[in-house]
Amino acid sequence: MKKDLLFIVLLCFLSFPFRLSAHHSTNANFTQEIISVDGVIERVRFQNPHASVLIKNTDEQGKETFWLIESGARTTLERQGVSLDILKVGAKVKATGRKGRREFTMYLREIEFEDGTVFIPQPDLN
Average pLDDT for residues 2-13, to the nearest whole number? 53
pLDDT of residue 64: 96
pTM of the model: 0.73
Paired strand residues for 45: 52
In the chain, domain spans:
25-125
pLDDT surpasses 80 at 27? no
Considering only CA atoms, which of 16, 35, 53 is closest in space to residue 101? 35
pLDDT of residue 3: 58
The 10s digit of each residue's pLDDT in 52-104 is 999 999 999 999 999 999 988 888 888 877 777 888 999 999 999 999 999 99
pLDDT of residue 10: 47
How far is Cα 105 from Cα 100, in angstroms, rounded to an integer?
Answer: 5
Average pLDDT for residues 2-17, to the nearest whole number? 52
Q: Is domain 25-125 annotated with CATH 2.40.50.140?
A: yes
